[in-house]
Amino acid sequence: MERSGKKYHPKHAVATDYISRSFWFPLIKSAVIAAAAALIFNTMFGIGVVSGTSMEPALYDGDVIVFWKYSSLYEIGDIIFIKAHGRKDYVKRICGIPGNVLGFDDDNGLFLINGEVQKEPHIYEKTYGKIYRKTKISYPLTLSENQYFVMGDHRSDSLDSRNYGAVSKEQIHGKAVFIFRVRP
């Protein structure tokens, strides 16, 4: 049909893709993306909440930690999640790595690695090797391959490697990457 020399194209008869313009498509698309993101996040990361005072002053009761599950390199000073002593996960700091010879100068409250006194700016009290009489760990302690020595920063209030011995790499669930302070 022509009007005044131009070909007429009616605009009211255009077919639309009902699915892409409906209310449900963007909602379903968003839900699928959110589920995929959550699956990827939960596969690679974990979330933990600090319970107790053993990591003060670095971490406080109620702080939330995001940890990387697939870390293969752990260094002295790293904050990690471990499963040890037949209990739930603990948050501790790596204080000794494979090959280190560890000891304590209990007279002066000093922690030694390979005979050298360690400077630990994250702690505020002295460090003693024998904190409970029933401890069967003797020093100097040499860490073998895949063994790590962990302690809490609040040394007098921490159940750690001084009590249950070195932890294996398999007991480490991940390394902290983000810390969210949740205090009023």
What is the DSSP-derived secondary structure letter of residue 155? G
What does pLDDT average to in each consecutive run of 10 residues of the chain (184 residues)?
61 55 80 93 88 90 91 92 76 95 90 91 84 73 94 89 90 92 73
Q: What local confidence, expressed as pLDDT, does residue 26 receive?
A: 84
Return the sign of the alpha-carbon dihedral for residues 122, 127, 129, 134. negative
Q: Would you kindly state where each structural domain of the chain is located, as residue ranges? A: 45-180
Q: Enumerate the active-site residues.
A: 54, 92
Distance CA 2, CA 9 (A): 9
Q: What local confidence, expressed as pLDDT, does residue 121 receive?
A: 87
Asked if residues 162 and 156 have their Cβ atoms less than 8 Å apart, the reply is: no
Distance CA 12, CA 57 (A): 70
Q: What local confidence, expressed as pLDDT, does residue 20 receive?
A: 54
Return the sign of the alpha-carbon dihedral for residues 98, 164, 111, 126. positive
Q: What local confidence, expressed as pLDDT, does residue 176 receive?
A: 94
Global pTM reads 0.78
Superfamily of domain 45-180: Umud Fragment, subunit A (2.10.109.10)
Q: What local confidence, expressed as pLDDT, does residue 178 receive?
A: 92
Give exposure, 28-52, as e/b (b: 16+ Cβ within 10 Å): eeeeeeeeeeeeeeeeeebebebeb
Asked if residues 122 and 93 have their Cβ atoms less than 8 Å apart, the reply is: yes
